[in-house]
Structure 1
Amino acid sequence: MKMNEKRDQFLKKYSGIMDTHNRIPLDLYERYNVKRGLRNSDGTGVLVGLTEIGDVHGYIMEEGDKIPVEGVLRYRGIDVKELSKGFQQEKRFGFEETIFLLLFGYLPSSEELSNFNEQIGDFRELPDQFTEDMILKAPSNNIMNKLARSVLAAYSFDDYAEDISVWNMLRQSVKLIAQLPTMAAYAYQAKAYYYMGKSLFIHKPDPSLSTAENLLLMIRPNRKYKDIEAEILDLSLVLHAEHGGGNNSAFSTHVVSSSGTDTYSAIAAAIGSLKGPLHGGANIQVARMMDDIKKHVSDWKSDKEISEYVTKILMKDAFDKKGLIYGMGHAVYTLSDPRAEILKEKARELAASSDRMDEFCLFEKIENLVPGIFQKLKNNDKPLCANVDFYSGFVYSILNIPEDLYTPIFAIARIPGWCAHRVEEIVSGGRIIRPAYKSVSPRVPYSSLKNRG
C-alpha cells in the first residue's frame, strides 16, 4: 500500500508532540524503584514465575554479589550438551525427541519416539486451500509476519479452537509444531516469487522425514540437500528449542495464555515477540552487521583495524547507529552461552570444508575483541560472551539457507518450548498476569472545545 502524502503529513506533524508526551524522565524510574525490563539493578531477572521446562544458568548469587559462571542450559533437567551429544553419537536426528521431552517431561522410548514421529508426519501438510488462500493470495515481504498470520488463520480450520483442555492444547501444539515449517517454507516461496521475481516452488512435505529434512526439501527448488546439512540444521533446532520462561517470547506466551485465550492467539503473540531485532531477529542483524564490517575493514587479520571499526559501531557512528554489537552479550549468560559454544564448533568445521575459514576467523576475532572494547568504552567490567545468534546466521549461510529464513527457523525451533509453557501456564498459573504501572502524569482539568488553543 502506497503512503498517502496528505494523510501522512498530518500524522508526521504531530509525531514530535506524541514523542514528547510519551517520553518519561529516566530519574522517575529510579525514584519509584521500577524494574525496567523486569530486571533488578544488578542485572538479575525479577522472579515472576516457576517452571519445570527449561533452566538457564549463567551466574550464582553469593552474599548479594553476582558471580559469573560458565553457562548451562537444561531441558526438563537434562543438560542440552548431553542431549545433543547423545543423538549425534547415535547418528540420528534429535529435534523430534526434544519436542517430546519438552511437551511430556521425559525422553521417549524407541517405540514412543517412532509413534510420535508418525503423528508429526501426519500433521505436516496444511489444510485444503490454506496454501493458496492464506499464503499465496496474501504474500508478505516479512516471513515472520506471514507466520503469525498463518497461525491465526489456522484457528479457522479448528472445530475446537477455543477448547483449553490439556488434551486439546496438546493436539493443537503438535499440529502447529508440525505445520510451522511448512508455513514458513511456503511463505518464503511466495516472497521469492512475488517480491524477488523468482520461480514458485511448492513442494509437499514428506511425512517420513525429520523437521530439518522437510524444511530443506521444501525451500530448495530441486528438493535436494546433503545429509550433513540436515544434521546441522537439526542440531540448531535442538539448541533453539527452549530457553526458560523469562525470555521475551516465552514470557509473552505466559502473559497471553494467562488471560485464558486460545492457543493460536498465544503462539502468534510469541512469533511477534521473536521477530524483534533484540530477540530472535538478532541473527539477521548479526549477518548484516558482519557484512558491514567486512566492507569497512580491509585487513580481517588486523586487531587494530577491527577494534577501531567495532568502536565506531559501539559509539553509534557506524552500521545501524544503535551502539549494539549484535550477538554479543546475554541477559543471563555471563562467561559463556552453551548453545553458542556448540554452534561455533560446527561453524568452524563447516568453514574449513567450504573455504570460508577467513570469515570464521573474523567472527572469532570480533568475539574475542568486543569484551575488552566494551569494558574500555563503557568503563564496565561485566562479562560479555557471544550468544547463540552470533554464529547461527553464519552457519545458515554456509548451509545455503536464505537470510529471510534465519528468524523463521528460530520460530520453528522454539514453538515446542512455547507450547510447553502455554500448557504449564494454563495448568499451574491460575491468575492473569497483571503487573503494576504507576502513572506519573500531572492532573489536568478538562477544557471545552471552544476554550482550547
Structure 2
Amino acid sequence: MKNGLEDVVAAETQLSDVDGEAGRLVIRGVSLDHLAEYASYEDVAALLLDGLIEGNLEKENLRRRLGQARTEVFAHIRAIDDDMLGLPPVDIMRALTARLPDGDDLEAALGLLAAPAVFLPAILRLKNGDEPVAPSPSLSQSADILAMLGGGRPSKEKVKALDTYLVTISDHGLNASTFASRVIASTKAGLTSSVLGAIGALKGPLHGGAPGPVLDMLDAIGSQDNAKAWLNQALDRGERLMGFGHRVYRVRDPRADALRYALRPLIDADQVDRERIKLANAVELAALAILKERKPDRPLDVNVEFYTALLLDALGFPRDAFTGVFAIGRTIGWIAHAREQALRGRLIRPRSLYVGPLPQAA
C-alpha cells in the first residue's frame, strides 16, 4: 500500500511525460522549452486534443470556433447574484461551469475551454464594481482574456506572456486534479462533470492554491536586505517557503524557467513592477542557499508557483484569482485526459486496506 499513491502507475497516457529526476516536461511529444517559446493557447489545445475529439482542430478553425464559444458562454454571467459574488472567484467559476451541458464532443469541449476564460474576468470586474466586458471572438484566447479583464486592447508583450503561462501549465501528468478528471471520466460521465471535479481538486491549497502566498511572502519580507533573516525565521517556525519544492521534481521545475523567461519582455517594456522583480530575485537566491545549507538531504528548488505569482501579478490578476487563471490553462489537459480515459481506459476502482476494528467474537 502506497499512502498518497506515491510511485503508483495508474494510467498509460500519450499526453505528457514528467521526468522529476531530470527536470524535464514533454507535452504530446514536444518539449516544454519549444512550446513555451513558440506555441499559443490554440496551438497546445489542438496538440492535446488531436485524436481524442472528433472535428476540425486546425488552428484557425479552432481559434474561430473558440471565439464563438466565448460569446455563447458569456450569457451565463447573468446568473451571478449578490450571494454568489461573495464567494471566492474559483467557486463562482465552478458554479457557472456547472450550467454547461455534459457532452463529450468538440462543441462541449470548446464551451468548457471558453468558460473559465470568460467567467474569471467578468467575476473580477463585478467584484470591483465594474461592468463585465463582452468577449471579442476575433481575438485569440489570451488576448481576449486580457481585454475582458482590463477593458482595453492588451499589449503584445502581455498577450505573449499569458500565452506562455497557459501553455506551460496546460498538462502535467497525473496531478490531483487531472487524476480526479480521469476518475470521473472512467464512469462515462461527460466532460463537464470531469472538469467540475478537477476544479474542486484544484482549489485545495496543496494543489492549485499556492501561487498567491508567494506574493504574501514577498510582501512580508519587504526588502532585499531582510530576505535572509526572514527566511531563516520562517524555517525556524517550521513554515514552508512558498514557491520552493515539488512533489515530483528533484531538481528545478522546468516550468519556473519558462515563466521567468516570459517575464523578460514585460520587464524590458517596463510593464512590470521592477522593484518586486528585484526583491524576488534576491529572495530566490537567498532561499536556495539557505535550503541547501539547512536541508541538504532534501532537493528543494524553485517551482512553478514562484514565477506564476510574479507573472500573473504583472498581468493584472489579483492574487485570489490565481487559481482561476490556472484553471483556464489546465482545462485543456483535463479534457484531454478525460477523453483519453473514456476512449481507452477502464472504470477506475482501486482497493483499500481495512485497518479498523474487527467484530467481537460471540
Pairwise same-fold verdict (TM > 0.5): yes
**Alignment of 1:398 onto 2:314:** yes
1:436 paired residue number: 351
Matched, 1:46 2:8: yes
8 A contact 1:140–1:187 mirrored in 2: no
Counterpart residue number, 2:285: 368
Number of residue-to-residue matches in the alignment: 357
Structure 2 counterpart of 1:147, which letter?
Answer: M
1:280 aligns with 2:196: no
Alpha-carbon separation, structure 2, partners of 1:438 and 1:111: 44
* Conserved? CA contact 1:120–1:178, under 8 Å: yes
1:334–1:384 Cα contact (<8 Å) kept = yes
Contact 2:256 2:307 in 1 (8 A): yes
Q: Structure 1's 437 and 405: CA in aligned 2 closer, same or farther, altered over 3 A?
A: same
Task: Tell me what 1:104 maps to.
Answer: 50
What is the TM-score normalised by the length of structure 2? 0.90
The runs of 5 or more residues in structure 1 that have no matched partner are: 1-33, 40-44, 60-68, 88-93, 193-197, 318-322, 446-453
For the 8 Å contact 2:74–2:134, the answer to whether it is kept is no
Q: CA offset at residue 52 of structure 1?
A: 0.2
Please say if residues 73 and 115 of structure 2, whose CA atoms lie closer than 8 Å, have aligned partners that are also in contact: no
Task: Tell me the equivalent position of 2:182.
Answer: 254
Output aligned runs, 1:296-375, within 5 Å: 299-300=223-224, 302=225, 305-316=226-237, 323-351=239-267, 353-354=270-271, 356-375=273-292
State the TM-score, normalized to the length of structure 1. 0.73
Identify which of 174, 189, 207 aligns with 2:137: 207
Cα distance between partner residues in 2 of 1:285 and 1:314 = 16
- Specify the alignment match of 2:161 in structure 1: 232
| Residue 75 (structure 1) aligned with residue 27 (structure 2) | yes
* Alpha-carbon distance between aligned partners in 1 of 2:86 and 2:184, rounded to the nearest angstrom: 25
Paired with 2:141 and 2:131, the residues of 1 have a C-alpha distance of: 18
- Show the counterpart of 2:341: 425
1:171 aligns with 2:107: yes
Provide the rounded CA distance (Å) in 1 between the counterparts of 2:251 and 2:2: 24
Q: Using the alignment, how far apart are the partners of 1:96 and 1:58 within structure 2?
A: 27
Q: Deviations over 1:290-348 (max 9, x none)?
A: 21222xxxx51x4xx4233212222336xxxxx21121111222222221102112334
Whether contact under 8 Å (2:121, 2:149) holds in the other structure is yes
Distance 2:229 2:330 in 1: 36
What are the superposed Cα offsets for residues 74-109 of structure 1, whole Å, 9 maximum, x if unpaired?
Answer: 11110121123334xxxxxx1111100010069xxx
Separation in structure 1 between the aligned mates of residue 97 and residue 181 of structure 2, nearest angstrom: 14
What secondary structure, in the 3-state scheme, does the structure 2 residue paired with 1:124 have?
helix
Checking the alignment, whether the CA contact within 8 Å between 1:125 and 1:179 is kept in structure 2 is: no
SS of 1:74's equivalent in the other structure is strand
Distance 1:201 1:273, change over 3 A: same
Question: 2 CA distance for matches of 1:128 and 1:355?
Answer: 30
RMSD: 2.5
| CA distance in structure 2 between the partners assigned to 1:206 and 1:373 by the alignment | 48
Q: C-alpha separation between the residues in 1 aligned to 2:27 and 2:82? A: 37
Partners of 1:135 and 1:187 lie apart in 2 by: 11
1:130-209 matches, cutoff 5 A: 130-134=76-80, 138-154=84-100, 158=101, 161=102, 168-190=104-126, 192=127, 198-209=128-139
Deviation of 1:376 (Å) = 4.0
Provide the C-alpha distance between the structure 2 equivalents of 1:85 and 1:138, rounded to a whole number of angstroms: 38
CA distance in 1: counterparts of 2:134 and 2:240, whole angstroms: 40
Cα distance between partner residues in 2 of 1:128 and 1:250: 26
Structure 1 residues 99 and 127: CA distance shift in structure 2, 3 A: closer
Provide the rounded CA distance (Å) in 1 between the counterparts of 2:304 and 2:247: 12
SS in 2 for 1:242: coil
Separation in structure 2 between the aligned mates of residue 306 and residue 111 of structure 1, nearest angstrom: 48
Identity of aligned residues (%): 29
Secondary structure at 2:26 match in 1: strand
CA distance in 2, matches of 1:375, 1:413: 32
The residue type equivalent to 1:212 in the other structure is: S
Over alpha carbons, which structure has the higher Rg? 1
Alpha carbons of structure 1 residues 111 and 407: separation in structure 2 relative to 1, 3 Å = closer
Aligned partners of 1:430, 1:111: CA distance in 2, in Å?
A: 26
Identify which of 142, 153, 170 aligns with 1:241: 170
Aligned CA distance change for structure 1 residues 354 and 153 (closer, same or farther; 3 Å): closer
- Indicate conservation of the 8 Å contact 1:135/1:186, yes or no: no
Offset of residue 238 of structure 1: 0.9
Superposed CA deviations along residues 256-275 of structure 1, whole A, max 9, x for unmatched, are 22222222121011111111
Aligned 8 A contact 1:54 1:73 in 2 = yes
Matches of 2:124 and 2:231, distance apart in 1 = 33
Instruction: Provide the C-alpha distance between the structure 2 equivalents of 1:335 and 1:408, rounded to a whole number of angstroms.
Output: 27
Structure 2: 5+ residue stretches without partners: none
Q: State whether residues 336 and 385 of structure 1, in contact with CA within 8 Å, keep that contact through their aligned partners in structure 2.
A: yes
Residues 283 and 327 in structure 1, CA contact (< 8 A), matched pair in contact too: yes
Distance, in Å, in 2 between the alignment partners of 1:259 and 1:115 is 31
Deviation at 1:137, TM superposition (A): 6.8
